[in-house]
Amino acid sequence: VFVAISVLLALASANQSSHQTIQHGHAAPVHTSIHRPHGVHHASVVSQPAADPSDVHNPYTADYKPIAAVHAPAHAPVHAPYHPAPYHPAPYHPAPYHPAPVVHRPAPYHPAPVVHRPAPYHPAPAPYHPAPVVHKPSPYH
């Protein structure tokens, strides 16, 4: 148990470092390194191209620079840790509920508008009366 706790404590308090090199096509690579010692709130970052600016357009004859990294910075920022001011929101007091007053009066009367023109005339179709069909009675045998 002691070994497990000491390993976790060592991992939590260890330095954090990151090194990265990025190269797009035949362009000069750019090296970036980040180092954050334990107990420090800010990291140190170094980024530099690996070739002179004049060599970027001629990558085949470029003399690459040595990589500069931040392995152990000489000075870590010394300051008090950041503690934000306590936040105390204003107390919430909802407004009291007041329903709208009930008004007991009828809705206003608006008569239908008067139209001063007669209704359209559509004559009824002439009734169709077909002639009666008369059959001669069949002989009785």
Block residue for tokens 């009930």: 102
pLDDT tens string 5-56: 777 766 666 677 777 777 777 677 777 777 777 767 777 777 766 656 665 5
pLDDT band at 91 (very low <50, low <70, confident <90, very high): very high
Q: What is the pTM of this model?
A: 0.33
Statement: residue 96 has pLDDT above 90: yes
pLDDT at 42: 72
CA–CA distance from 17 to each of 7, 9, 20, 35, 40 (Å)? Answer: 19, 18, 10, 4, 13
Cα torsion 97, 99, 100, 103 to 10°: value is -160
For residues 26 and 59, the answer to whether their CB atoms sit within 8 Å is yes
pLDDT tens string 57-83: 555 555 566 665 555 555 555 566 677
DSSP annotation of 107: P
